[in-house]
Structure 1
């Protein structure tokens, strides 16, 4: 039975949705999942991702997995507990869903970029300032605002045709360039997701 990943991201445009799927596909291929790739559904906002996941879980016929940003610090418990307790979400774990069915990009997808600064430097080129990025090696403790602010500062004085970082197509192009092994070495949440996919789907 195939795995289908319901991902927060992609926005409302067809082009950005395509970029989102492509970026995740490249990331997963480099993580060793070529030949057993999950199908990727770019759902736009996080609530859409949750609702689409619930529908797929209820209908059966595939193995759905939810992947959304944590948005806030993730301290203890399961991803479902975090999403139930987080103000603005309040999502219950659907019947039939295990802990392996839900994963978090802690605290935001761009946090993963910080694990592979060489990929950022290669993408942005001359004028990129890696020293402006948050120094904390424990990615899951870096606040979302600090991640996005650091990327904006690191790219504000570029001497190339690249523009300063902003969410959009650049986000997913960078995602497709970073090294998954570097990400999972410093982000346990990312390692958990990749381990579940490598194992062929949820087991708990």
Structure 2
């Protein structure tokens, strides 16, 4: 498996923390099973372009695209339906690509972070305000703007890390409990299930 992830910046050096964070998350999801290769791609359009190129250059691999949804996903719509209709994307599904090859972080990666307040508290330590996080148990219903604002409020008095910054998210994605994320996001659960279904048994 090869997972093409939105985010991480424009250079390989800038992308390394995101790759490392997702590697730690996948280790917790998959245990002793083989883990996918993670490719951080920068912008969402660059991620889609990299994914399309990989379909041709790695025809024997299961290539998976993981991007933010940017906005709510309608219950009756598929992931490919969402990105094909969304203004700013309008991505057509490549020929032969299955539903399981596109997954969404709804509405942004930060939704997966706020699903695990305990890990955030352990990271930010003194000054972290857990009560400033959204109380919505279904994190997919929290607007992207509200996610950022809640994280800023919860962390701005942290004596250890200071207020939330994007690079914190790259570290935190490797620290969150995937079971808590799974319980708070049906799209995260779908993604983790796809990884588990296709992971080969044995050491990574």
> Which of the five TM-score ranges fits, normalised by the shorter chain?
over 0.9
Q: What is the match of residue 103 of structure 1?
A: 103
Structure 1: gaps (5+ residues): none
Question: So what's the TM-score if we normalise by structure 1?
Answer: 0.93
CA distance in 1, matches of 2:152, 2:73: 24
Aligned to 1:55: 53
SS at 2:165's partner residue?
A: coil
Query: What CA distance in whole angstroms lies between the structure 2 residues aligned with 1:38 and 1:14?
Result: 18
In structure 2, C-alpha distance between the alignment counterparts of 1:154 and 1:16, rounded to whole Å = 26
Q: How far apart, CA to CA, are the structure 2 residues paired with 1:132 and 1:16?
A: 30
Tell me the residue number matched to 1:66.
65
Alignment of 1:91 with 2:102, yes or no, is: no
Contact 1:33 1:198 in 2 (8 A): no
TM-score by length of 2: 0.93
CA distance in 2, matches of 1:187, 1:16: 28
- Structure 2 counterpart of 1:12, from 10, 13, 27: 10
Q: For 1:179 and 1:46, locate their aligned partners in 2 and report how far apart those are by CA, in whole Å.
A: 25
Gaps of 5+ in 2: 200-204
Q: 1: CA distance between counterparts of 2:3 and 2:11?
A: 19
Paired residue secondary structure (2:63): strand
Q: State the 1:159 CA deviation.
A: 2.5
SS in 1 for 2:162: coil
What displacement does 1:33 show?
Answer: 4.3
Cα distance, 1:90 vs structure 2? 0.5
Aligned to 2:156, the other structure's residue is in SS state: coil
1:47-79 deviation line (CA, Å, top 9, x unaligned): 011011111113313210000000011113111
Q: Which runs of 4+ in 1 moved over 2 A?
A: 13-16, 32-35
**In structure 1, what is the equivalent of residue 202 of structure 2?**
none
Residue in structure 2 matched with residue 128 of structure 1 by the alignment: 128
Number of paired residues?
197
- Give the 5 Å matches for 1:40-189: 40-59=38-57, 60-76=59-75, 77-160=77-160, 162-168=161-167, 170-189=168-187
